[in-house]
Structure 1
């Protein structure tokens, strides 16, 4: 794998270049049979991209298993389109759009990432068509790889919710209810970009690992991972980011777009600060509902908040 300049800079700063080179050898552009089979079993896919105005977002697309599938050695096709009102509804049909995707299976704690560009021959149709039920788009893969199950909470599917109001609230900052939503989260997805490419990645921990500093600012610790530093590397080059907080039990989604930066402490720890610029809360028809979590054994304890309010725990 050829790392982008930002990732190389972070790897050198943290002292993991040798480990990153080793991990990078597992990244390819081809979709192996085992990866194709994994994709065909998934009921949702997270996609990161920039909207028409350049804001970065992470969106969740859902459908019956098979709605996302490998249609070639270097290509996936997503059927069913993007939910009406989603910020990426107008761009995922545009050939050449850079996207990052992540398929995550809460049942097995497995995940797979695929980055590439929307394929002109993918049958996406017009931008308007991408937001309809018959919408479809394909992605020509440039990077395909799996991640370890670290910080993934285990869940079981409950039901598909056929009814919903679609987008229920748009804003430029978090409401008190949305702040509570974020504080209770044990999982979110983050889309980042640099040098013309986009990544979609996962972050997990005990509830409280994401701190709400104000209606306009969040922060979270950067837990040890695979040494690649793709997300932090992108942020070192381009601060734009999109966050997706799924509410697993109801299937509701909270999408945030803004800018992020990484702070490096003297003890080697890292914290990411995110400034909120746009907020979309939605309850789309056809959303997935999941059980409560079986927390990952890798989740670090969450420190007590100011005033002694301990957020999170080391037990379920």
Structure 2
């Protein structure tokens, strides 16, 4: 852990203050509008999975402020009560994403933590910019990274989601975005994914140090397929890999290397049902609150009783957070 923090920096003081332990009105509004999400779970066999959820807005149905009903088509029927799960919800046209972590109880996600994830991965990936041309290809089931369809898909993908779970059984799914092709194929069955500046929680890396099992789900705007890869991950500061991931003169401090055990490229009906790539389905500017407003409200709702938390709640006016956020998004993407 010390080596990781030396490379990417320690979690900042108060890193957790933007998270809350219930679904507030901002979360409920986001979920009511979001047509697509990815659920991360770890099975009884210890293997990670990324499960897409999609449909018309409202497919994610909160039941009160402490749980979300999930439409999984029976995929979770055999999941034991208390299975670790993390969810990330996407709202077309909105740069930030909503992350919710907790435990499964039947078809419900019991909320332990909810927070808004910063927009840097969306900005770098240009996921909502312009009109993505409709494209598709063949399904490839149980193949390897060398398959032409898989290689082409990864070369076009600007956005992935990474599933992980820590030793205590707390799950997480983290969005990562960059120019297309940022997920490198560095061996017959090995992927490398750069670490870029984000919300500085470094949840994924801390989890992988404790439990290296991971699942990766890659998307391509306009394509109705999703690539699923599962394996074991490690963190490296290998100079050669980092140099291959250089963008605008900036190299990542570390890379996540995944030794792949399983790869599938398959149709994702949830993508079509969600209209995720349809420009007409994007939220209009001003339709959602500014991220700085949501974060300010979440800091004030955070229940940490510590001195640092009390100071942060007293010293976080929305206008200052908004200005700092704009500068960070402009100057600290890489």
Common topology (TM > 0.5): yes
Q: Using the alignment, how far apart are the partners of 1:249 and 1:215 within structure 2?
A: 27
Q: CA deviation at 1:274?
A: 1.0
Report the equivalent of 2:102. 116
Match of 1:16 among 10, 17, 31: 10
Indicate the SS of the match to 1:224. coil
Q: Cα deviation per residue 1:224-276 (whole Å; 9 max; x = unaligned)? A: 12221100111111111100012331221110100111113689811111111
2:42 pairs, out of 47, 50, 63, with 50
> Which segments of structure 1 move beyond 4 Å, counting only runs of 4 or more?
90-93, 156-159, 164-168, 265-268, 296-301
3-state SS of 2:201 partner: coil
SS at structure 1 position matched to 2:216: strand
Please point out which of 28, 32, 56 is paired with 2:24: 32
Aligned residue in 1 for 2:64? 72
| Map 1:148-159 → 2, pairs under 5 A | 148-152=118-122, 153-155=126-128
Q: Does 1:264 align with 2:237?
A: yes
Structure 1 residues 177 and 74 mapped into 2: Cα distance closer, same or farther (>3 Å)?
same
Tell me by how many angstroms 1:223 deviates: 0.6
Once structures 1 and 2 are overlaid, which stretch shifts more, 172-181 or 211-220? 172-181
List runs of 5+ in structure 2 lacking aligned partners.
240-250, 280-328
1:204 aligns with 2:177: yes
Which structure has greater helix proportion?
2
- Report the structure, 1 or 2, having the larger strand content: 1
Instruction: Name which of structure 1's ranges 57-66 and 267-276 shifts more when overlaid on structure 2.
Output: 267-276
Contact 1:46-1:103 within 8 A present in 2 as well: yes
Counterpart for residue 307 of structure 2: none
Whether the 8 Å contact between 1:29 and 1:142 is mirrored in structure 2 is yes
Q: CA RMSD in A?
A: 3.2
Task: Name 1:171's counterpart in structure 2.
Answer: 143
Q: Report the equivalent of 1:98.
A: 84
Say if 2:233 and 2:259, in contact at 8 Å, map to a contact too.
yes
